[in-house]
Every structure is written in C-alpha cells, then in structure tokens.
Amino acid sequence: MNKSEPHIISIQSTVSTGYVGNNSASFAIQLHGINCVAIPTILLSSHTDKPVYYGEAVSQELFEKLAKGVLEIDTAKQTKYAVSGYLKSQDIIDSTAHLITELKRQNNITYIYDPVFGDTRTDGLYIPKEQADYSKDRLLPLSDILTPNHFELEYITGVSITNEKELLEAVNTNEQLRDKQIVLTTAEMTENEEHRVEVILVSNGQLKHFYAENIPVEVVGTGDLFTGTLSAQLTLGRTLEDAIQISMNFLSKALKYVHSHQLKEMNAMAILQAQDVLEVVYE
C-alpha cells in the first residue's frame, strides 16, 4: 500500500441502485483522487423514498470484522478524516463509536458527524427516536465537525431556530456543541430574504455565511454528496471555509444537471460533469 495515498473512511449506507449514502459520498471522494474506505451500516436495494425496497442493517459482527480489517492494514495511518452518515442500529452506533475512538487513538483523525436523523421534507425523523437519541449520545461527543441540516440541529439542541441570534444562542448554550465546528446545511433563517441556498458555519461563537443558487429540484442524497465532497476538500488541505463553498458549488452544478435533464434523482453523469468545478479550484 502506497503510504502517500490519502484515504477517507466513510461509514454510511450502501444501496444496490441509486446515489445516496456511500454510493454518493464515495463517488465524490474518488473524483478527488482520494481512496474511499467504505464501511456499510445498512444494505438496501434502493433508497427508502422508493415505493419498494428491501434489505437490512449489517450485523454488528460483520461491521466489526470490516473495521478490524481496515485497522490492521494500517489504513488509519493514511487517514485524516472519517465520516459517518446513516446509522439505524444501536449496535452499529456502538461499533462506530469504538472505531472512531480507535482511529483517533492511532492517528488523531478528524471525525465528521452527519446525523442523518430526518429533515423538514419528511416532516421529521426518518429513523426511530431511540436510535436518533442514542446516536446523539454516543457519537456527538466524539465529533469534531458536524454537518446537520436545519431540522437535525433543532433536534440536537431541542430548541426552535429561526434566526441568527437563536442559532448562536442554541449552540453557545449547549455544552456538547459550543466547542465544535458546525456546518449547518440548508439553513432556514429569516435573514435570508433572497431565499438562496445557505450554509452557515458556526465556530468559536461566530457565524460565517455561504450561498449558492437555489435550483428548483428536490432529490435524495444531496447531503451525502455535500459531506463527501467536504471531507475530500479538507483532506486536500483546504480550509473549512473554502471546502464549504467548493462543496456547495459542486452540488449546485450537479443539481443544475438534474434539473435541466428533468431527472427524478441524482445519477452518475450529474455528479461526474460537476467535476470541472473541482478542477478549476485546483488550478
């Protein structure tokens, strides 16, 4: 194994067809020339928005065998960032916590925690409340960077957030959040009068705003694509601020393709053709 090759460990769902979870995040990571070490948390025939889908969470035994194998080939030594996404089983949440703890011990990796609890599109949680609360209790304390959507941050803090003052107060008064870097995706603030797509970075008691064009399309997997791109940009040495804007631009171009081709969901070409956004940045 070439020790100069960067890796990202991505702990997410895997589907047989479609672009959600690791199907989306791994593709984005690989487009950066980075190796994605994909560890599945659940195996499904398709994403759960489909009228029919089958599959199940991976067993804790299988997950831990995969994690053990990854650790024993020194992958941690080549990894600066690990990402977790959709986690529905408490056993897998426990095993993920153990893996992240070991990765931090071995190589002091940065852990990006994407809660993936639910969103306003589905009117709330799309995993059981017990699992969401367990994930919050076990994984949030280990995280360095969070990428919740608006609903998920409200769920974590337990308060309604409608404006910037409420956002700062919700984070600064929360013992688990105040010292972390929070990338609030799909922020829904009253100050955003132009209704652009907004991401807000909350860090050290300060807010930084990032914007992109609002593409009139709604598809699954956008959060996974954003977080995968963010982790890849950070691995390449970008600042968190630059990584956020680049990831937004990348996602925006992919969604423009989806919209212009009247697609019902993301596909490989939508993601692939957005790569020139990354190439321009590298020049």
**177-181, 202-206, 231-235, 279-283: segment of lowest average pLDDT:** 279-283
Q: Which residue reads 């009117």 in tokens? A: 123
Question: What is the number of residues in the chain?
Answer: 283
What confidence category does residue 1 fall into, taking pLDDT thresholds of 50, 70 and 90? very low
Q: Which residue reads 């995968």 in tokens? A: 228
Q: How far apart are CA 60 and CA 150, in angstroms?
A: 30
Average pLDDT over residues 243-270: 95
What confidence category does residue 279 fall into, taking pLDDT thresholds of 50, 70 and 90? low
Q: What is the pLDDT of residues 44-93, one digit of tens each?
A: 998 887 888 899 999 999 999 999 999 998 788 889 999 999 998 999 99
- CB neighbour list of residue 217: distance below 8 Å, 6 or more residues apart: 255, 258, 259
Q: What is the dihedral of CA 142, 232, 28, 116, to 10 degrees?
A: 20
With 60 as the cut, is the pLDDT of residue 282 above it?
no
Structure tokens at 198: 């907004």
Claim: this prediction has a pTM higher than 0.85: yes
With 80 as the cut, is the pLDDT of residue 105 above it?
yes
Structure tokens at 244: 């956020």
Q: Do the Cβ atoms of 266 and 221 come closer than 8 Å? A: yes
DSSP strands (E only) in the chain:
7-15, 35-44, 55-57, 79-84, 110-113, 118-119, 124-125, 145-146, 181-184, 197-203, 206-212
Q: What is the pLDDT of residues 109-163, one digit of tens each?
A: 999 999 999 887 666 888 899 999 999 999 999 999 999 999 999 999 999 999 9
Q: How far apart are CA 112 and CA 233, in angstroms?
A: 13
Q: What is the pLDDT of residues 8-35, one digit of tens each?
A: 999 999 999 999 999 999 999 999 999 9
Specify the 3-state DSSP secondary structure of 112.
Answer: strand
Domains recognised in the chain with CATH numbers: 7-275 (3.40.1190.20)
Neighbour tally for 56: CB within 10 Å: 10
CA 7 vs CA 34, 52, 105, 106, 268: distances in Å: 6, 34, 17, 14, 22
Q: What is the pLDDT of residue 240?
A: 97
Q: How far apart are CA 14 and CA 22, in angstroms?
A: 6
